[in-house]
Amino acid sequence: MRAVRYVGPNRPFVMEDVPEREPAAGEVRVRIRAAGMCHTELHFASGLLDLGVCPVTMGHEVAGEIDAVGEGVNPERIGERVLLYYYVGCGECEWCERGQENLCANLKAEYGFFHDGGYAESIVIPERNAVRLPDHVSFEEGAPIACGVTTAIHASNLAKLQAGDCAVVYGVGAVGYGLVQIARLRGARVIAIGRTPRKLAYARELGADVTINAAEVEDVAAAVREATDGRGADVVFELVATKGTMSASTAMLAKRGRLIYIGYSSDTYEVHPIQLVINEVFVAGSVGNTLDELKEAVSLVAEGKVKTRVDQVLPLDRWQEGLDALAEGKVLGRVVLKP
Ligand SMILES: NC(=O)c1ccc[n+]([C@@H]2O[C@H](COP(=O)([O-])OP(=O)(O)OC[C@H]3O[C@@H](n4cnc5c(N)ncnc54)[C@H](OP(=O)(O)O)[C@@H]3O)[C@@H](O)[C@H]2O)c1
Ligand SMILES: [Zn+2]
Ligand SMILES: [Zn+2]
């Protein structure tokens, strides 16, 4: 089958022919119908995210249909529409026991990172990692749930986001749109920050109370203070994390505010501890999601409470076009590949 693969830092992805696998005991094979393109793939391509494993098939937002099952799996699952949970924990460590497989230190798989992912025609995974996708959610709108929406839920949980909080979403891409909607559902007031008017307009459509165009204001932190009567934001979700955004994000926190890093760039975070001390603020990172968070994300989309936004659907062999559009900031939501 064809697969789009990471072949090392600073090298373009390549399409290769790779063998298709048969499912072993406890596994299912998913015929891939849609795979979302996450900004994380740009970090692989640029060499920023080098996990030391290659070649590896990219893609961790995967939707498809089970077409074969291994021993011990109910054959009635053949034909089931599913989404991929991209972590396979060891099942034994303290994090797996707590259901926090995203922190497992002995991962058996992380598809699209250390193990072959979804920019391909099929993928073989443990049956537990194939989460049912309701019939009325298309594969294309379903795929971006698996990272775009799940990451938003996980980060909101870590931030202990609650009703009445003021939440800033700094960077309105696919994960940002997930965050705008999750934060609204939790009763937070949402300020979305971006640089492209049509992306900010869509954030408002999804429920953002205030939008700030960072390209138009001189001091983004001051603009947030102004929008919050001087108080600042209880939670800031950082999806950009360049030098300028990181210092603004820190400066816009309210007392006891929580800054949650989701995105990263090649820049490092510099902060004087006094700035953290005097405001008693918290700085944390958020990675991935749990299986339960994926199930919650699927339910929210199925119930129409959260939407994913697909900018365009491309055939698998035009992956480079999708990556280029994402790198150039031209994508509203997600590009989805279709094998
Ligand atoms: N921790 C995790 O588990 C996890 C999961 C998924 C993704 N991520 C990371 O999270 C980040 C976002 O991912 P994504 O897929 O949502 O990316 P995305 O779709 O590319 O969205 C990022 C958005 O940020 C905006 N932006 C860029 N520079 C900006 C600036 N200086 N000020 C304001 N806005 C700016 C861009 O739009 P404009 O510049 O046009 O406004 C872009 O739409 C990436 O770093 C990705 O690797 C982490
Ligand atoms: Zn992702
Ligand atoms: Zn584990």
Indicate if ligand 1 lies below 6 Å from the C-beta of 220: no
Block mean pLDDT (10 aa), the chain, length 339: 96 97 98 98 96 96 98 98 98 97 97 98 98 98 98 98 98 98 98 98 98 98 98 98 98 98 98 97 98 98 98 98 98 98
- Residue 312 CB: number of other CB atoms within 10 A? 16
Task: Give me the residue spans of the domains in the chain.
Answer: 2-144+308-338, 149-285
Its CATH architecture, for the domain 2-144+308-338, is: Alpha-Beta Complex (3.90)
**What sign does the dihedral 326-330-334-335 (CA atoms) show?**
negative
Ligand 2: centre distance to CA 241 (Å): 16
* Model pLDDT, residue 82: 98
Across 188-227, the runs of DSSP E, i.e. the strands, are 189-194, 210-213
Q: Would you say the CB of residue 39 lies under 6 angstroms from ligand 1?
A: yes
176 close to ligand 1 (CB < 6 Angstrom)? yes
pLDDT of 119: 98
Tokens 């396979």 correspond to 88
CATH for 149-285 is 3.40.50.720
Q: Among residues 267, 269, 249, which one has the least CA distance to residue 259?
A: 249
Determine which residue's CA is closest to atom 13 belonging to ligand 1: 39
**Length of the chain measured in residues:** 339
Name the packing angle between helices 319-327 and 39-46 (round to 10°): 90
**Among 294, 307, 263, 289, which residue's Cα sits nearest to residue 154?**
289
Whether the Cβ atoms of residue 112 and residue 87 lie closer than 8 Å to each other: no
